[in-house]
Structure 1
Amino acid sequence: MPYAIANDKTRLYFEEAGSGTPIIFLHEFAADHTNWEPQMRYFSRGHRCIAYSARGYAPSDVPASAEDYSYRHFYTDALAVLDHLSIARAHFVGLSMGSYSSLQVALHAPERMLSMTLAGVGSGSSLENLDTFRKTCVETAEQFEKIGSVEVTKVTREAPGRIPFLVKDPRGHADFYAALARHDSKGSANTMRGFQAGRPSVYTMADAIGRATTPALIICGDEDDACVEPSLFLKKHLPASGLTFFPKSGHVLNLEEPALFNEIVERFIALVEANRWGARDPRSVLAG
């Protein structure tokens, strides 16, 4: 099995396909590297595509301590995968947790990015409800440890942002959550405690985000309520960003609408590579 080695020696399982300009895919909390298969098959026709499972997600290593699951670990792990493959720069395509990690790379190591696609980004960012969100994450972590992934999955599969996937594609939704039920309970618990409950809200990083010049595509499902406002916030503050909403869509955008997702990301990457995706022209900003 191919593994990259993180800074703390955690092994990160990855798969790659195709050749050309690199694209690295970063998955969400409820997923792993396998959930990028529709994108790996499509984009590998013209790009070198890499998908990896984050720490805590087998067959990657599952560190025992929640202290090894901070948001810093997650974004530096992405860089470790690129380092292992001797890739200097890549297009980053993330969903949810993977989008947050991609944004952190843009803030701390922008020289490693050609572009970033931020899909389903920003849940749990509300400053008004931040303490409640973090408390819920800790409680969910305890549930993973107490009753295991199979039982927790029975509840999370009916979370509001997941319902559009269920409505439009019950078969795909069932497959997705059958995979989640097989996730390592300790890894999921530690990710909840370390990453989900410990990451800063995007709203606290406005100044740093405003200095990030990496070309960015923000994608949000119009029925993914937790991500709508953060997506608008990022559009306002990221200088070289574009924003699109998928109609009648929730959180799992790359699987709910794979053809639409692939089409819009492909167009974005093509424009970036043609040097046609720059910062917003100030003349387009409404005065006042």
Structure 2
Amino acid sequence: MPFARAQDGTALYYDTVGAGPPLLLLSGQSNDHHWWDPVRADFAAAFRTVVMDWRGTGLSERPDTDTYSTPGFARDALAVLADAGIESAHVYGTSMGGRVAQWLAADHPGRVRRLVLGCTSPGSPHGIERGPEVRRALVQPDPAAARQALIELMYTPGYAARHGGPFTTLGEPLPGSGTPPMPGYARRRHLRASALHDAWDALPRIAAPTLVLHGTEDTFNPTANAPLLAGRIPGAQLRLVPGARHAYFEEFADVATPLALAFLQGRPLPDPQAPAAG
């Protein structure tokens, strides 16, 4: 079981699957590498995919220290790449993983070949924050109601009903994975790290070819952040996935994965087609 060591000594779990050019897949806030399970095989058919558990999640160590930040997570990702013997990689980050990927590309340009930023934001104060109704829904005192609200932010009702779970994007250990639940202090530190993200001034330094992907119906991380990012990063391309919510990469994989693969392989991008209603 491979573990890298961060600069502060924290053990970071990671895993590689596939062969070809390396592709680092970065998951969302308070989630481990299983975030990518529904689509990873499609990328592993063309790339050596690398996934990792953020500090505080999954099988990585969970220090209760002031070491959680998006630039810090980027340094953790570099430690994983170094341990895997990878000098540079394509990077696909979604949600908080996209925030981390911004720092990787801006501060370590030689380590990032091509960059995909999914359902993410430049951060405060320039980004578009989720509305108060979304924040209220996620902090309901009833855990079941809060969980259901999160599912509805991630997926369309039709997909959620057909899928039925378990879902890999809710920050919960998958049944049979042997992963212990994330401690409350680590959740709070992840939330703070994501909330304090502000890469606005760094975005123009990104030199890697960049694709910004976002669902048109994303209210968890509002869709309006996508053109902000694309307009701030030199030469970035923007594609919106019609009808998709926050977990566009899973529910609308038939649209999103071909877009990401074409871009990462340097091919012309297909035009997103409106999928069947969820």
Determine if the TM-score, normalized by the shorter chain, exceeds 0.5: yes
* C-alpha spacing 1:244/1:173, structure 2 compared with 1 (3 Å): farther
Residue 196 of structure 1 aligns with which residue? 194
Shift in Å, 1:220: 0.6
Unaligned stretches of 5+ in structure 1?
Answer: 278-288
Residue 94 of structure 1 aligns with an amino acid whose one-letter code is: G
What is the 5 A alignment of 1:104-119? Answer: 104-119=103-118
What is the 5 A alignment of 1:104-183? Answer: 104-122=103-121, 125=124, 127=126, 152=143, 154-159=145-150, 162=153, 164-172=155-163, 174-176=165-167, 180-182=171-173, 183=181
1:262 aligns with 2:253: no
* C-alpha spacing 1:181/1:86, structure 2 compared with 1 (3 Å): closer
Shift in Å, 1:159: 4.2
Shift in Å, 1:56: 0.7
Counterpart of 1:105 in 2: which secondary structure? helix
Contact 2:91 2:114 in 1 (8 A): yes
Query: 1:127-160 CA deviation, whole Å, 9 max, x = no partner?
Result: 5987x99xx79x96xx9xxx8xxx6464144149
Residue 169 of structure 1 aligns with an amino acid whose one-letter code is: A
Shift in Å, 1:197: 3.0
* C-alpha spacing 1:20/1:155, structure 2 compared with 1 (3 Å): same
**Alpha-carbon distance in 2 for matches of 1:128, 1:218:** 15
RMSD: 3.0
What is the 5 A alignment of 1:64-143? Answer: 64-65=64-65, 67-122=66-121, 125=124, 127=126
Counterpart of 2:265 in 1: which secondary structure? helix
Counterpart of 2:217 in 1: which secondary structure? coil
Residue 63 of structure 1 aligns with which residue? 63
Contact 2:35 2:169 in 1 (8 A): no
* C-alpha spacing 1:118/1:157, structure 2 compared with 1 (3 Å): farther
The alignment-based identity, stated in percent, is 25
Residue 214 of structure 2 aligns with an amino acid whose one-letter code is: C
Alignment match of 1:233 (pick from 206, 228, 234): 228
**Alpha-carbon distance in 1 for matches of 2:169, 2:17:** 25
* C-alpha spacing 1:118/1:69, structure 2 compared with 1 (3 Å): same
Q: TM-score, normalised by structure 1?
A: 0.79
Residue 167 of structure 1 aligns with an amino acid whose one-letter code is: G
* C-alpha spacing 1:209/1:128, structure 2 compared with 1 (3 Å): closer
* C-alpha spacing 1:153/1:235, structure 2 compared with 1 (3 Å): farther
Alignment match of 1:214 (pick from 186, 208, 214): 208
Residue 43 of structure 1 aligns with an amino acid whose one-letter code is: F
Which structure carries more helix by proportion? 1
- Between 227-236 and 176-185, report the one with greater CA deviation: 176-185
Contact 1:102 1:118 in 2 (8 A): yes
1:41 aligns with 2:32: no
Counterpart of 2:46 in 1: which secondary structure? coil
Query: 1:75-133 CA deviation, whole Å, 9 max, x = no partner?
Result: 11111110001101101011110001001111100110011110001186455987x99
* C-alpha spacing 1:160/1:177, structure 2 compared with 1 (3 Å): closer
Contact 2:33 2:58 in 1 (8 A): no
Contact 2:99 2:122 in 1 (8 A): no
Contact 1:161 1:223 in 2 (8 A): no
Unaligned stretches of 5+ in structure 2?
Answer: 174-180, 270-278
Q: TM-score, normalised by structure 2?
A: 0.81
